[in-house]
Each structure stands twice: as structure tokens, then as C-alpha cells.
């Protein structure tokens, strides 16, 4: 007799833990071809979003207070753990319809993207900071600082590479993140939560919520304690509405346009300018004298 599989319950990832949605709701994740139900994912709620934002806010001083070297090591650790769970991630992408070679390529690029961004942690301040030659007896310098809590709406596809490509640059800069995963294909993203939890990422630094974007995105976009919103996973037609919601507290709005740039583009889909989008430039003056 063949052995009965142990199925995994796919849950949310909030504050370093894996709660079910407080709403108790679910939605079926189906294979692209056929009607097979792959999992019952959590249909996250407004309250889940708020809990995640509270966790991200609490984690902000922890994460932004780490040394750049340490942040880089943790991001590199994520790559290592992704590598060791490569076949699981590939399997999840394939179960949702990706061909074997496509799933493999996406996972490999995801891992490489973590490595790429891990290396930026202790370098972008030198690229984007400056010492400014002011006309007077002052020492004046500009340093990049994180914007704060970033809300990220992951694209539907590629569900893993798209998510990682958008959250990694925020993390490099010292921000904490609340991400809404691909609605139709959340499985690999939720597994990513398990990877993060075992990669020394402090609780609350990254929070992942699955559910219906139409329901969740406006809450995340309008929340007054979110400092920047990444609308990559929002259709262009809806961007204007979200922009108005984001204006209550002057959120920074960022959107990677996947219509124009391929996710595989290693010059434009990953770059220090993506880190810059979630940074604030701080300029400090001090007199010079004897």
C-alpha cells in the first residue's frame, strides 16, 4: 500500500509566526489546468493587514538598527535556505502550471536575486550618499535612510521571483515589509515565509498575507502607518485610485512596470535604483571650527 502524503497547511506569515487568518476564511488555490484544488489558502483580512503593519512597525528599529554587514549576511542566509529548499519551491511553481524548466529558472533567479541584493547592503550608502561642498565653514553630508514600513503588492506572476524582486530592495535599505502575495499562485510565496523564519530574519521584518487583492490592497494602501507602497501587483487601470488612497499620509508610491521590463532583466529588474526608491535622503550640517 502506498503511503498517504502529509499535506501542508498554507498559512500567513506575520511577526515571525504562522497564524491562520483571524477571519477564519479560506480560498481554494487551483492548478492552472484542470480543477484540482492544491491548497486551501488563507483569505487574509483587513485585521490581518493591520496586525502585520503593527509587527512591521515594531520590527523597524530592530532591522534598520542592524549593521549593514549583518543585514547582508541575513539576506545571504535567505539565499542559502532557498537553495536548500529549491525542489520544494520548484514543485509549488510546477503544481500551478509552470513547465519544469521555467519553474527551475524562476527559483534559480530568485536565489540569485537574494544574493545580488545581499551584496548591496553595505554598498548602496556609498553610491547614493554624498559629502556636499557647501560654501561655508560647515561639514555637510547626505546619507540614505530607510523610508519605514513598506507595503508591497506582489505581481500575480512570476509569483516567487516577482515577490522577491520587490521585497528584497526594500529590505536592503532597512525597511520592514508587509507583502500581499500572488492571489492565484500564493504557494511558493507562503513557503518563502518558512524560509524567512529559518534564516535569522527578525520577527516582523517581512510579513506575508495571502488573500483577495481587491479586498486587501486598499487597506494596505490607505493605512496611515505605512510609509511607502509598492503597487507592482496592481493593474495599471487601478493605480490612480490607489494613489489617492496613498495620499492621506503622503506615502511614497513605487511601481515596477513588468509590461515594459522583463523580470529576467538583470540590469533593470534588479538594481540599486530599486533600493533608492525606498530610501529617504538625510542631510546633516555641522559647523567646522577650532
Partner 1 sequence: MTKATLPVKPETLERLSPGPASAFGLAWDYSPAPEAVDHVRIKPRYELFIGGQFVAPQSGRYFETINPATEDVLSEVAEGDDADVDRAVREARKAYEKIWRKVTPSERAKYIFRIARLIQEKSRALAVVETMNGGKPIKESRDIDVPLAAAHFFYYAGWADKLEYAFPNRNVASLGVAGQIIPWNFPLLMAAWKIAPALACGNTVVLKPAETTPLTSLMLAEIIQEAELPPGVVNIVPGGPATGMALVNHPDVNKIAFTGSTEVGKKIRASAGSKKLTLELGGKAPNIVFEDAPIDQAVEGIVNGIYFNQGHVCCAGSRLFVQESILEPVVRKLRERIGTLRLGDPLDKNTDIGAINSRAQLDKITEMVASGSEEGAAIFQSSCSLPDKGFWFRPTFFTGVAQSNRIAQEEIFGPVLSVLTFRTPEEAIERANNTPFGLSAGVWTEKGSRILKVASKLRAGVVWANTYNKFDPSSPFGGYKESGFGREGGLHGLRAYLELT
Helices and strands (H, E) in the chain, number of each type: 10, 10
Q: Which of 244, 264, 265, 266 binds partner 1 (CB under 8 A)?
A: 244
Residue 235 near partner 1 by CB under 8 A? no
184 vs 258, which CB is nearer to partner 1? 258
Residue 241 near partner 1 by CB under 8 A? no
Task: Give the contact letters, 260-289, x = binds to partner 1 (CB under 8 A), - = no.
Answer: -------x---x-x------xxxxxxxx--
104 vs 123, which CB is nearer to partner 1? 123
Q: What are the grid coordinates assigned to 238, written together? A: 487601478
The CA-atom distances, in angstroms, between 239 and each of 154, 222, 253, 254, 261 are: 14, 13, 10, 10, 18
Residue 249 near partner 1 by CB under 8 A? yes
For the chain, the distance separating the N- and C-terminal CA atoms, rounded to the nearest angstrom, is: 86
Residue 62 near partner 1 by CB under 8 A? no
| C-alpha to C-alpha distance for 169 and 144, rounded to whole angstroms | 13
At residue 177's C-alpha, the angle toward residues 171 and 179, to 5°, is 125
173 vs 193, which CB is nearer to partner 1? 173
Residue 247 near partner 1 by CB under 8 A? yes
227 vs 232, which CB is nearer to partner 1? 227
DSSP designation for 51: H
The least CB distance from residue 125 to partner 1, in Å, is: 12
**Is there a contact between 182 and 161 (Cβ–Cβ < 8 Å)?**
no
Residue 66 near partner 1 by CB under 8 A? no
The least CB distance from residue 227 to partner 1, in Å, is: 7
Residue 127 near partner 1 by CB under 8 A? yes
Count CA atoms within 13 Å of residue 260 on its CB side: 6
**Is there a contact between 279 and 173 (Cβ–Cβ < 8 Å)?**
yes
Residue 4 near partner 1 by CB under 8 A? no
24 vs 289, which CB is nearer to partner 1? 289
Residue 34 near partner 1 by CB under 8 A? no
Q: Which of 62, 68, 22 is nearest to 204 (CA)?
A: 62
Residue 250 near partner 1 by CB under 8 A? yes
Q: Which of 145, 156, 215, 238 binds partner 1 (CB under 8 A)?
A: 145
| C-alpha to C-alpha distance for 256 and 234, rounded to whole angstroms | 10
Torsion of CA 192, 193, 197, 203, to 10 degrees: 140
Provide the binding-site residues for partner 1, judged by CB under 8 A. Answer: 127, 130, 132-136, 138, 140, 142, 145, 147, 227, 240, 243-244, 247-250, 252, 267, 271, 273, 280-287
Amino acid at each position: 500500500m502506498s503511503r498517504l502524503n502529509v499535506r501542508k497547511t498554507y498559512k500567513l506569515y506575520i511577526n515571525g509566526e504562522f497564524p491562520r487568518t483571524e477571519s477564519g476564511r479560506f480560498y481554494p488555490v487551483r492548478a492552472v489546468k484542470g480543477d484540482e484544488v492544491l491548497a486551501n489558502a488563507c483569505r487574509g483580512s483587513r485585521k490581518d493587514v493591520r496586525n502585520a503593519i503593527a509587527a512591521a512597525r515594531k520590527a523597524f528599529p530592530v532591522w534598520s538598527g542592524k549593521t549593514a554587514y549583518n543585514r547582508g549576511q541575513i539576506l545571504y542566509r535567505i539565499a542559502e535556505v532557498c537553495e536548500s529548499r529549491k525542489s520544494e519551491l520548484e514543485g509549488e511553481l510546477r503544481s500551478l502550471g509552470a513547465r519544469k524548466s521555467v519553474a527551475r529558472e524562476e527559483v534559480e533567479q530568485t536565489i540569485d536575486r537574494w544574493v545580488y541584493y545581499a551584496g548591496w547592503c553595505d554598498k548602496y550608502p556609498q553610491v547614493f550618499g554624498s559629502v556636499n561642498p557647501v560654501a561655508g565653514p560647515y561639514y555637510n553630508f547626505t546619507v540614505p535612510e530607510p523610508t519605514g514600513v513598506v507595503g508591497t503588492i506582489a505581481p500575480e506572476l512570476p509569483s516567487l521571483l516577482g515577490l522577491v524582486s520587490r521585497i528584497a530592495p526594500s529590505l536592503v535599505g532597512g525597511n520592514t515589509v508587509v507583502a500581499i502575495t500572488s492571489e492565484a499562485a500564493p504557494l511558493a510565496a507562503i513557503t518563502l515565509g518558512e524560509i524567512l523564519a529559518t534564516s535569522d530574519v527578525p520577527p516582523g521584518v517581512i510579513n506575508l498575507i495571502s488573500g483577495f487583492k481587491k479586498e486587501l490592497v486598499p487597506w494596505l494602501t490607505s493605512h496611515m502607518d505605512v510609509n511607502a507602497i509598492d503597487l507592482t501587483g496592481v493593474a495599471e487601470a487601478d493605480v490612480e485610485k490607489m494613489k489617492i488612497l496613498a495620499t492621506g499620509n503622503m506615502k511614497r508610491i513605487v511601481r515596477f512596470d513588468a509590461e515594459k521590463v522583463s523580470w529576467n532583466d538583470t540590469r533593470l529588474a534588479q538594481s540599486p535604483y530599486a533600493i533608492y526608491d525606498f530610501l529617504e535622503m538625510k542631510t546633516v550640517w555641522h559647523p567646522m571650527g577650532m
